[in-house]
Amino acid sequence: MTEKALSLKEAAALLGVCYSTLYTHKEEMGFFKVGGQWRIWPDKLKGATEYNPDRPARTEPRSEKCQSVSAKAPTFGTLISARQAAAEFDKVLEQVTGRKRKNCTTS
Structural domain harbouring 13: 6-49
For the segment 29-50, the average pLDDT, to the nearest whole number, is 88
For the segment 35-48, the average pLDDT, to the nearest whole number, is 88
> Does some domain include residue 22?
yes
- When divided into structural domains, the chain yields a total of 1
Strongest mean pLDDT among 7-11, 52-56, 101-105? 7-11
> Does some domain include residue 44?
yes
Mean pLDDT of the chain: 77
Cα 7 to chain centroid distance, Å, stands at 23
> Does some domain include residue 30?
yes
pLDDT of residue 7: 92
- If one compares 79 and 19, the residue with the highest pLDDT of the two is 19
Q: In this structure, are residues 19 and 9 in contact, taking their beta carbons and an 8 Å threshold?
A: yes
For the segment 18-46, the average pLDDT, to the nearest whole number, is 89
> Does some domain include residue 99?
no
Largest CA distance in the chain: 72
pTM surpassing 0.85? no
> Does some domain include residue 88?
no
Q: In this structure, are residues 23 and 40 in contact, taking their beta carbons and an 8 Å threshold?
A: no
Above 70 in pLDDT, residue 53?
no
- If one compares 33 and 90, the residue with the highest pLDDT of the two is 33
The DSSP bridge partners found for residue 38 are 33
Helix, strand, coil tally for the chain in percent (to 5): 40, 10, 50
